[in-house]
Amino acid sequence: MKIFYVLPLVFLHQSLLAKTVPIERRDDGFRIQIGAVSTEVHFLTDHIARVRRYPGAAPLSTEKSLVVRLAEKAALKIRLQETRDYLLAFSPTLKVKLNKANGQLRFFDGQGKLLLAEIADKDPFIPTDDDGRTSYRISQSYLLAPDEAIYGLGQHQNGKMNQRHQRLLLKQKNMEIAIPFFQSTKGYGLYWDNYSGTVFQDSLGRAAFTSEIGDNIDYYFLAGNKPDDVVRRYRELTGHVPMLPLWSFGYLQSRERYRSQEELIAVVGRYRQLGVPLDGIIQDWQYWGEDKLDWNGAAFNHPRFPEPKKMIDRVHKQHARLLISVWPSFGSHTSIYRELEKGKMLYPFLTYPVSPQVKVYDAFHPEARKIYWKYLNDNLFSAGIDGWWLDATEPVQKEVSTAVQNGPELAYKDRIDSPAGISTYLGSFRRMGNAFPLMTVEGVYEGQRGSSGVSKRPLILTRSAFAGQQRTGSVLWSGDIQASWLTLKKQVPLGLNLSLTGMPYWNSDIGGFFTSKNYPEGIRDPTYAELYIRWLQFAVFTGMMRSHGTNTPREIYQFGQPGDLVFDILRKYIGLRYRLLPYIYSSAWSVSSQALSLMRPLVMAYPEDRNGWELGTEYLFGPSLLVAPVTDSLFARGATALDLKRTLPKEVYLPHGEWIDFWTNRRLTGGKKIIRHVSLDEIPVFVKAGSIVPFAEEAPYASIKHFQSMEIRVYPGRNTSYVLYEDEGDGFDYLKGGYSLIRFTWNEARKELLIGDRTGDFNSMVPERQFKISIKGTNLPSKTIRYNGTAQVVAFK
């Protein structure tokens, strides 16, 4: 039986002056009640502490976190010190100090530097009705330093890198991802463990989380010297990232939508005919039919897709994969709707498409998640589908806006509040709603992982996310954005903030989803082709390279044919993506094995360099490549043709050290801004001196067998090393040691490259291969050697 506490507000105010009750000491921390409010501090590791605060002597609820995977460790021993005024709990790397007069906490690193301090809120617990259950509107404020920058909080289309002085509504919505986690340049992160609609507001140095529903204030403080450390702690707390299949890092083609199986097969065939690399094609909605009542039946019910298994087999025979769109809502004529309705596992709110007979399923219900996966498995996965596009995982919530011109038709808009009176398996939707994407994505991930005899790694592309979702390996995208230069510009800091939120794989619709507003002529407009080129260049250096949108087609041959300027530029950059695959895949291994990040903002790569704190215009892709996407137009609206004669001045900040221009091999000194003039076929890319970058030969699709011959590019300037990771490219043997590592070590003084012994092996491993060693930015000739797994030295003197 649960006991509910309703405390008069005056009692809470008076509690600040009330007598402190005895401290409950624990091996991992303490609990103390000061007046009417109790505070608990528990260390989960030397670097991570949980804070829980609630009115009364016991919390209203003790439900297990949906997000946190790290258990409190019984063996952990935390030291406690008490004075008349303070209580201190500390590990070698984190100190938490409680003021016994008011219960407020301050957090210090192991050397005693103040990291963060709580500020007392006037009304931290305001009693509220949670659809018939007693709860609170909760808030907690923190004092931020004037020169402190913060990052994360999910995905927000505000164009900001530093999220200071912002008011952000953390509510799942198309193009907005709500994750109540941020990290600071002072060396810490904070995860607010609440799933209701939340506002984060930073004003005049006072940063606060305020959540619509909460039984307790519950948050986790993560100490880390650098952003990489904070992300590492975050994933330790909420889950590590699995390896994605190698093919998912190739080029994926999509549109809204392929209208028949013949059209879909023909697109793959055309890419193969043209010799343009391609790894996946994506089938968008309505393959299930076009009637709302048949919405999202999780099966090929459209007459223009009569033989889905044959279609999928033909895609596979051309060495491509098929991803498919699935929504969390269903029409009443579908079998899955009827089964979920029978179990009372459907929400009654309006969604998309708007109809009282289209409903979203209760992803918080374990049985509903099993039913969802059962239909995906029986109708799609068993037919050979390779990956999932889980669309609208916010989920979409609609409300009536107004009558249209006084007619019978109603207009609908997206809700920004949570609907009342909607129950989930775990509580009201108002209480749980922000965690919906985590639950539905995790249900599919666990369903596929739990299927016997399955050797495909789950690949899930989805529009929304919550904390912890990185443990499914899901790839996020930025939603249904408009095609414009401003939108493209916003994508860069947006993706970087998601990276700092701990989400390593992100992408956006190349060319923007909607084009008709700004480019009604679509691909027939040369200025749209310019925007598309710049977007695709940027996409080479993101977690997924995927072309998608409506209003106008996006396949490469829609822009022309070989020999045409636009076609050739697009072809060049798709090819570059494939040449970079060994580098990208090894970086993905670092994401999984070392909790690193693929898209690395300058504040992450160079945290001591304040010049990079505000820069959301450039980033490191992997450990070595500095990328500065071009987000301004070179050609005026109305231009009738594009050319390579004109150049655009692009300002790029080079951090301290030496850099080598990727395209020209020119050496540059960092610690300053430079101007790089770029033509339409160039994106500024610089390689950090003292880097080793593996380059594959271009191939029509991603496969480990295409890495038999590889160029190893050394960018000299200092001693360095690099580890090349390889496995089968799919399956789960890598979890049991089925992979190989080759370490390359460059000695700057001797001008020697040591290729170490290959460690480990896996099925389909190439026993002997060819390496072409190139020393960039020098006059040293390249050398080609055979490598059979035994160490050898390649000298260049």
Catalytic positions: 391, 394, 480
Question: Which residues are CB-contacts of 466 (< 8 A; sequence separation ≥ 6)?
Answer: 67, 172, 178, 179, 195, 434, 435, 436, 437, 438
Give the single-character DSSP code of 514.
Answer: B
Contact 143, 203 (CB under 8 A): no
What are the start-end ranges of the E strands in 224-320?
251-254, 280-283
On the question of a cis peptide bond just before residue 257, with omega within 30 degrees of 0, the verdict is yes
Contacts of 144 (CB under 8 A, 6+ apart): 116, 150, 164, 184, 202, 205, 206, 207
User: Is the separation of the CB atoms in 305 and 312 below 8 Å?
Assistant: no
Q: What is the DSSP string of 319-371?
A: T-EEEEEE-SEEETTSHHHHHHHHTT-B--S--SS--TTEEEB-TTSHHHHHH
Beta-carbon contacts of 721 under 8 Å, excluding residues fewer than 6 positions away, are 692, 743, 744, 745, 746
Angle between helices 366-379 and 335-342 (to 10 degrees): 160
How far does CA 377 lie from the centroid of its chain? 25
Give me the torsion for CA of 632, 633, 634, 640, rounded to 10°.
170
Q: From the CB of residue 263, how many other CB atoms can be counted at a distance below 10 Å?
A: 12
Q: For residues 556 and 158, give the distance between their C-alpha atoms in angstroms, rounded to a whole number.
A: 31
Q: Decide: 662 and 685 in contact? Cβ < 8 Å.
A: yes
Q: How far apart are CA 379 and CA 377, in angstroms?
A: 6
Q: Which amino acid is at 547?
A: S
Strand segments, DSSP code E, in 159-283 are 167-170, 177-184, 188-192, 198-203, 206-214, 217-223, 251-254, 280-283
Provide the 3-class DSSP secondary structure of residue 93: coil
Residue 594's φ and ψ, nearest 5 degrees, are -120, 5
β-partners of residue 620 are 600, 626
> 281 and 461 in contact (C-beta within 8 Å)?
no
Determine the 3-state secondary structure of 568 from DSSP. Answer: helix
**Encoded tokens for 184:** 């600071």
Cis amide leading into 395 (omega within 30): yes
